[in-house]
Amino acid sequence: MNPISEAGLSVPGRGSLPGAIVEATIAAGTLDILSAFGFAGLAGVGPAAVLHFVASGPFGDKALQGGGWAFAGIVVHYAIMACMVTAYALCARRVPALVRHPVRAGLGYGVLLWIVMYWIVRPLRWPDMPLPHTAYGIGNALFSHCILVGLPIALIVSRALRGGVAASPSVAIGRAERE
């Protein structure tokens, strides 16, 4: 007896694509936001300011003023992540190589997401914000997008489309690289 499923709140099961989209959104979204908090913290910026900045994307500069905008920022962050995961999952259903080679595909997807976010979205929304130009700035953004976002998305979606459950990410990575 599961009180969550009895309340009608169950998430589609493991091995299903909708379940994988939810799982990958939570995993990659959490890893990504924790990375943003960590790197921002190293620069002296707190988590609330990071979330206000995220909220300011769709809601404008008023979100930078504080208040409840941190909550809006976390909602925006996970909504964007859900779109990223869904886009990958829909492509993976049509491109078998994404399922057969999730490590390479995930790393490539991370690079694609980095290009879209840093070279298209940010300049359109914040034209005066400088583009990444230091090895440190580019490196931490690529690390976050490739290792913490693209890779988990690809591994989780690949597992679902294969219909199996990997024992652990390291097992899944090893198996994916051998194939």
pLDDT in tens, 74-129: 999 999 999 999 999 999 999 999 999 999 999 999 999 999 999 999 999 999 99
- pLDDT (tens digit per residue) in 49-68: 999 999 999 999 999 998 88
C-alpha distance from residue 168 to each of 45, 64, 73, 80, 164 (Å): 33, 39, 30, 26, 12
Amino acid at 48: A
Q: What pTM did the predictor assign?
A: 0.83
Cα 106 off chain centre by: 11
Sequence spans of domains, the chain: 16-178
How sure is the predictor about 132, in pLDDT bands with cuts at 50, 70 and 90?
confident
